Amino acid sequence: MTNFSAQRIFELKKIANKIRQNIISMIFEAGSGHPAGSLGMADIFTALYFEILKHDPKNPDDPDRDRLILSNGHICPVQYASLAHAGYFPVEDLQTLRKFGSGLQGHPHRGFLPGIETTSGPLGCGLSEACGMAWVGKNDNKDWKVYCLMSDAEGQEGNTWEAVMFANKYKLNNLIAVIDRNNIQTDGTVEDVMPLNSLKKKYQAFGWAVAEIDGHNFEEILGAFEEAKDLAVAGPSLIIANTIPGKGVSFMENKFEWHSHKISKEEMEKALTELREEILHG
């Protein structure tokens, strides 16, 4: 648990709700995208950009900044919306998602937008990239940390586990990974496609410190990040965030079909109504 006031927690919930509204309108305007995972990770991204990360929107290349790597780049709408609300670029630009010539590509592209650390696309590569950055930071005695956001289905790929071993071997205690444990992927549930069983036990067996939380509970989210930052562990840390894909939109929640799906005007209006009512009722 954290020492954040109830008022601050409510403010974070309002930011996350607005980010979810942006995600819906962005994907509707684009005519394609990945709503389920983007909606599900809004609370995690809100906590990172508005409480946890050491970053400066006015100086996005600050050498002392924390690095955030989005491995599952298809959920970039949630990162784009978070960056916009944090002040990296105008919120109005969010409506250019996936448009020709826009910096808001279907996967993050380094150099196209401020605040984007890596270009992503192939799943399963982000943790290796994060390990490389963390290794450099540790060897150069830097204070900044590396945060790597991953999907659970990336655990079905061998290169993820190579990175897990690397992080343990080199005791990268400046690396904090977050797995979005939403249990869905394009073709169905994760357990139906390729069971992962207990990710907590797997990572612990590889020498990682692991916390498992409700990915929509800000007290738990903030507490886990603070513990991962402050705990003098000998190696890397992992936060397993149990989330609801499509969170906040009743007809999307826990349905793998919304992993990648366009949004009709009627669906957009219904989704936005639900989200606005949710924040009005606390």
Q: For the chain, give every domain's residue range.
A: 6-280
**CATH code assigned to 6-280:** 3.40.50.970
Q: Could you read off the pLDDT of 39-78 as tens digits, one per residue?
A: 999 999 999 999 999 999 999 999 999 999 999 999 999 9
pLDDT for the residue numbered 230: 73
Of 135-139, 140-144, 229-233, 242-246, least confident by mean pLDDT is 229-233
pLDDT for the residue numbered 252: 97
Is the Cα torsion angle 233, 234, 236, 242 positive or negative in sign?
negative
- Cβ-contact 112, 147 below 8 angstroms: no
Instruction: Give the whole-angstrom CA distance, residue 6 versus residue 257.
Output: 35
> Cα torsion for 115, 147, 80, 89, to the nearest 10°?
-30
Q: Could you read off the pLDDT of 238-259 as tens digits, one per residue?
A: 999 999 999 999 999 999 999 9
Instruction: Give the whole-angstrom CA distance, residue 125 versus residue 142.
Output: 23
Regarding predicted confidence, which is higher, 120 or 48? 48
User: For the chain, where are the E strands, in sequence order?
Assistant: 67-70, 146-151, 175-181, 184-185, 188-189, 209-214, 237-242
- With residue 29 as reference, give the H or E element that holds it: helix 6-30
Please give the model's pTM, rounded to 2 decimal places. 0.96
- The DSSP annotation for 128-169 comes to HHHHHHHHHHHHTT----EEEEEEGGGGGSHHHHHHHHHHHH
Q: Could you read off the pLDDT of 26-43 as tens digits, one per residue?
A: 999 999 999 999 999 999
Is the Cα torsion angle 47, 50, 56, 60 positive or negative in sign?
positive
Q: Could you read off the pLDDT of 142-160 as tens digits, one per residue?
A: 999 999 999 999 999 999 9
pLDDT for the residue numbered 232: 53
pLDDT for the residue numbered 280: 81
Burial class (CB in 10 A: 0-12, 13-18, 19+), 278: middle
Q: Is the pLDDT of residue 89 over 90?
A: yes
Mean pLDDT for the chain overall: 95
Q: Is the pLDDT of residue 1 over 60?
A: no
CA diameter of the chain: 53
pLDDT for the residue numbered 282: 62
Give ∠ CA 105-108-114 in degrees, rounded to 5. Answer: 100
pLDDT for the residue numbered 122: 81
* Mean pLDDT calculated for residue range 102-122: 92
